[in-house]
């Protein structure tokens, strides 16, 4: 059952051509006569030959591997992104090498080394704060980087996000229109652009309506912290009548907390999240939330990355994709809506 390795030499022998000829037939962009192509393809077919990507990578420096750096996959948004990213990349002949990074400096240091060792053609970072020092090092090594669902102010790196500022603003306008008067915010991690932008848009949106946040806490994208923040808010002398939560993942924890405190979500207090992960639509939560258009974000990420791989001189792009507010029962509707 040897299935011994077939090399271009074997194919060359059978086809009666040189090894270089075989290589040319399988190298996109190289040229060969119709006759040669036919002979080589036939021989390759017969032997079941496929070029060794490792050997190819060593010469061209192109591995057709994309490094995906992720931290925690417990927020449903990321596994879904991973799945779609992998599908989209596979369709283009690339594969994803996964790097799980604890957010520690040490962990990230190792990841960067590994990334460069494996000669990945490009890097996608999702849900990770890579220090700009390190991202710069990847860039210096000539490896294109796209940050997915996170931006970095100033830095010359490509990123794909939803329109987070605008999203926050939409939520503020919606809650104001719904007649809420004590509107709080349990924000996404303020160390991330995503958390900051949503908060900024939200605060600006309130201001445009002549209001201000009734309470404001950094939920750190953490369920426990968010739940505690919610508890503190509703136990206060003047509890909020609406809470905008920085992402769905935390919003679910907030809803659990409110219910266990005997409050009716959508009636006593309105809750709005951000992401629109599938779970948001499930009966148990039925969460009003700002949708991040996953498919479009994935497509933009792949397009941007491949464009940069094919043309390293290309300037980094910061892409923002607008997403709609999805109305469900967790937040009171404006009259006449």
When binding is defined by CB under 7 A, the residue of 1, 2, 3, 35 that contacts DNA is 35
Nearest CA to 138 out of 165, 157, 162 is that of 157
Residue 153: contacted member of its own copies, DNA, none (CB under 5 to 8 Å, by partner type):
none
Residue 255: contacted member of DNA, its own copies, none (CB under 5 to 8 Å, by partner type):
its own copies
Residue 113: contacted member of DNA, its own copies, none (CB under 5 to 8 Å, by partner type):
its own copies
Residue 315: contacted member of DNA, its own copies, none (CB under 5 to 8 Å, by partner type):
none
60 — phi, psi (to 5°)?
A: -80, -20
When binding is defined by CB under 7 A, the residue of 42, 45, 60, 278 that contacts DNA is 60
In the complex, minimum distance from the CB of residue 201 to its own copies, in angstroms, rounded to a whole number: 28
Residues that bind its own copies in the complex, under the rule CB under 8 A: 1, 3, 50, 52-55, 57-58, 63, 65, 68, 70, 72-74, 76, 78-80, 82-83, 86-87, 90, 95-100, 113-114, 116-119, 137, 140-141, 252-253, 255-257, 259-260, 278-279, 282-285
In the complex, minimum distance from the CB of residue 2 to DNA, in angstroms, rounded to a whole number: 13
Dist. CA 173–CA 188, nearest whole Å:
19
In the complex, minimum distance from the CB of residue 11 to DNA, in angstroms, rounded to a whole number: 8
Nearest CA to 251 out of 202, 204, 185 is that of 185
In the complex, minimum distance from the CB of residue 137 to its own copies, in angstroms, rounded to a whole number: 8
Residues 6+ apart with CB under 8 A from 304: 146, 158, 160, 317, 319
128 — phi, psi (to 5°)?
A: -130, 140
Q: Which helix (H) or strand (E) holds 274?
A: strand 270-275
In the complex, minimum distance from the CB of residue 194 to its own copies, in angstroms, rounded to a whole number: 20
Neighbours of 253 (CB within 10 A): 22
When binding is defined by CB under 7 A, the residue of 42, 45, 46, 58 that contacts DNA is 58
Enter the tokens of residue 258: 């409110």
Q: Is the Cβ–Cβ distance between 241 and 283 less than 8 Å?
A: no
In the complex, minimum distance from the CB of residue 268 to its own copies, in angstroms, rounded to a whole number: 16
Q: How far is CA 73 from CA 82, 103, 164, in A?
A: 9, 13, 21
Residue 282: contacted member of its own copies, DNA, none (CB under 5 to 8 Å, by partner type):
its own copies
Enter the tokens of residue 280: 């948001």
Residue 80: contacted member of its own copies, DNA, none (CB under 5 to 8 Å, by partner type):
its own copies
- In three-state secondary structure terms, 218 is strand
Dist. CA 114–CA 130, nearest whole Å:
14
Residue 21: contacted member of its own copies, DNA, none (CB under 5 to 8 Å, by partner type):
DNA
Q: Catalog residues that contact DNA under the rule CB under 7 A.
A: 5-9, 17-21, 23-24, 26-27, 29-33, 35-36, 49-52, 55-56, 58-60
């Amino acid at each position: 059952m040897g299935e011994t390795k077939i090399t271009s030499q074997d194919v060359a022998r059978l086809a009666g051509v040189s090894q270089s000829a075989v290589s040319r037939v399988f190298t996109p962009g190289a040229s060969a006569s119709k006759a040669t192509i036919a002979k080589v393809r036939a021989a390759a077919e017969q032997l079941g030959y496929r070029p060794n990507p490792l050997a190819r990578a060593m010469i061209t420096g192109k591995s057709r591997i994309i490094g995906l750096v992720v931290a925690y996959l417990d927020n449903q948004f990321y596994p879904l992104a991973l799945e779609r990213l992998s599908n989209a990349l596979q369709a283009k002949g690339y594969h994803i090498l996964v790097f799980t990074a604890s957010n520690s400096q040490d962990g990230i240091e190792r990841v960067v080394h590994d990334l460069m060792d494996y000669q990945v053609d490009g890097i996608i970072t999702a849900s990770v704060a890579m220090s700009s020092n390190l991202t710069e090092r990847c860039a210096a090594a000539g490896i294109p980087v796209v940050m997915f669902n996170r931006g970095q102010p100033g830095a010359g790196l490509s990123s794909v996000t939803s329109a987070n500022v605008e999203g926050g603003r939409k939520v503020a306008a919606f809650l104001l229109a719904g007649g809420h008067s004590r509107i709080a915010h349990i924000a996404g991690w303020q160390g991330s652009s995503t958390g900051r932008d949503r908060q900024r848009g939200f605060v600006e949106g309130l201001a445009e309506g002549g209001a201000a946040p009734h309470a404001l806490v950094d939920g750190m994208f953490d369920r426990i912290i968010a739940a505690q923040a919610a508890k503190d808010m509703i136990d206060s002398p003047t509890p909020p009548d609406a809470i905008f939560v920085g992402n769905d993942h935390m919003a679910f924890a907030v809803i659990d907390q409110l219910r266990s405190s005997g409050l009716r979500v959508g009636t006593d207090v309105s809750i709005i999240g951000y992401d629109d992960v599938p779970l948001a639509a499930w009966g148990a939560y039925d969460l009003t939330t700002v949708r991040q258009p996953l498919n479009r974000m994935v497509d933009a990420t792949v397009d941007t990355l491949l464009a940069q791989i094919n043309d390293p001189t290309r300037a980094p792009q910061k892409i923002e994709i607008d997403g709609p507010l999805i109305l469900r029962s967790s937040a009171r509707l404006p009259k006449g809506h």
